[in-house]
Amino acid sequence: MPQNAASVRHVLVTRSEQGQRVDNFLLKTLKGVPRSHVYRLVRTGQVRVNGGRVRPHTRLSAGDEVRVPPWRGPQPGRTVAVPSQLRARLAQAVVYEDANWLVLNKPSGLAVHGGSGLNFGLIEAVRQWRSEAGSWELAHRLDRETSGCLLIAKERSALRAFHGALREGRVHKEYNALLIGAWRGGAQDVERALVKNRLRGGERMVERAPEGERGLAARSRFVPQRVWPQASLVTVCIATGRTHQIRVHAAGLGMPVAGDDKYGDRGANRGMRALGLKRLFLHARRLAFDLPPAVGALDVTAPLPSDLEAVLAALERRCG
């Protein structure tokens, strides 16, 4: 199947693709298409299943006919070679691997998918690094600047089981974040729905839903670990996995994530750069879940990268 097409196609869903969401099916079919564009195609009715309109989260059945509209991305058949240095870096980033899963300690600065001006992302790099990885899929996503545990499913059955656990709140995700300001008190729960694609200063943002407005439910628990006068290291456990959830919830507390150039404090970020922080201080530390016996349980951690450890050491030296 070509990566992109200049005309409408009608694609039959195979048995191995059964249960896949429409948006994920399109991301796989139209290689390199930005997720935002997929949502636009679905919202405007350009994507149809068996002749009817659908939503991005609609799940497909074997034999369904999907109308795939044209999309002009990279030239069909053109594969951008992933640098050998990146393939070697991914090999060193393996946290865990078995017959169902590959867990990587994703480097900061690497998008999980290509598209939006990027020739490739992490999943495309993995497929070049590992010859058997052509059908492997991301089980979830991390922001480009976020490092840490990223789960890749090798089998469709494992992916479906994981997504079911996500929907039922049976996946534990734990992050390390450095927040601007001195934390007061103990652990704090934040439960505030989020809305996406709000324009602010010409940029699309995720925001906390105004009171009375329905949004996507989002729950985060912030637990302080170390506190300095100008910053606080916290552990964040999220019961949901909304886009930019931790960053928006932290900003709503008046303590944005250090190095966040989208929702953060520019002045404070300048001060953090003086301590050596060159990116968003957000790291997916731990991922744990317990699935049916055929898939099994998993509990993995990724150590804090050395560049972030160096920032914490600089804070200790400054504050003594």
261 DSSP 8-state letter:
T
How many CB atoms sit inside 10 A of residue 265's CB? 18
Helix axes 35-43, 22-29, angle to 10 degrees: 120
Give the SS3 label for residue 84: helix
| Residue from 64, 143, 260, 265 carrying the catalytic annotation | 143
The whole-angstrom separation of Cα 271 and Cα 245 is 24
Exposure string of 203-234, with b = 16+ CB inside 10 Å and e = fewer, is eeebbbbeeeeebeebbbbbebeebbebbbbb
How many CB atoms sit inside 10 A of residue 320's CB? 5
Asked whether 192 and 249 are in contact (CB, 8 A), the reply is yes
143 is catalytic: yes
Asked whether 89 and 115 are in contact (CB, 8 A), the reply is no
Spell out the residues 6+ positions from residue 289 whose beta carbon is closer than 8 angstroms to its own.
162, 165, 170, 171, 172, 297, 298
Give the strand pairing for 137-138 and 101-106: unpaired
Q: Which helix (H) or strand (E) holds 104?
A: strand 101-106
Catalytic positions, written as ranges? 143
